[in-house]
């Protein structure tokens, strides 16, 4: 995926079936009141789980350089903080040489 305006180049992945989030220990059983809706919006793939909000920065060799995991879905990592982290990791989200 590329944002032409800022020329950000990144991959965004989805796990509607929950295999990855479950394997990573980042899924929990949703309250019953959500199970029908989750099943419907996932095309039948979600059997009643919710993912823990998470952000991973992974290099091309698969090494996790940074992870943010917060079970409080109301607390999200800000874009400003993520860009500061990327800058300190020498990961350049703007495709410019340092």
pLDDT in tens, 12-42: 778 888 888 999 999 998 899 988 898 898 8
Q: What's the pLDDT tens digit per position in 42-98? A: 888 888 888 899 998 888 888 999 999 998 888 999 999 998 998 888 765 554 444
Same domain? 27 vs 62: no
pLDDT at 78: 93
pLDDT at 2: 47
In the block, residue with structure tokens 């919710």? 50
Same domain? 75 vs 87: yes
pTM over 0.85: no
Sign of CA pseudo-dihedral 41, 18, 74, 30: positive
pLDDT at 70: 93
Torsion angles phi and psi, residue 72, rounded to 5: -85, 105
Same domain? 65 vs 46: no
Same domain? 89 vs 67: yes
For residue 45, count CB atoms less than 10 angstroms from its CB and return exposed for 0-12, middle for 13-18, buried for 19 or more. Answer: middle
Tokens read off for 87: 């800058």
Same domain? 65 vs 89: yes
Task: Determine the Cα–Cα distance for residues 61 and 64; give it in Å rounded to an integer.
Answer: 9
Q: Tell me the residue range of the domain where 91 lies.
A: 55-98
Same domain? 3 vs 43: yes
Same domain? 46 vs 63: no
Total domains present in the chain: 2
Task: Determine the Cα–Cα distance for residues 47 and 30; give it in Å rounded to an integer.
Answer: 9
pLDDT at 7: 67
Same domain? 60 vs 48: no
């Amino acid at each position: 995926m590329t944002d032409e305006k800022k020329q950000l180049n990144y991959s965004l992945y989805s796990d509607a079936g929950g295999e990855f989030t479950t394997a990573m220990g980042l899924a929990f059983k949703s309250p019953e009141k959500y199970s029908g809706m989750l099943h419907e919006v996932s095309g039948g793939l979600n059997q009643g789980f919710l993912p823990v909000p998470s952000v991973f920065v992974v290099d091309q060799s698969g090494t996790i350089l940074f992870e943010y995991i917060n079970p409080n879905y109301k607390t999200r990592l800000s874009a400003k903080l993520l860009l500061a982290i990327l800058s300190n990791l020498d990961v350049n989200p703007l495709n410019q040489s340092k």
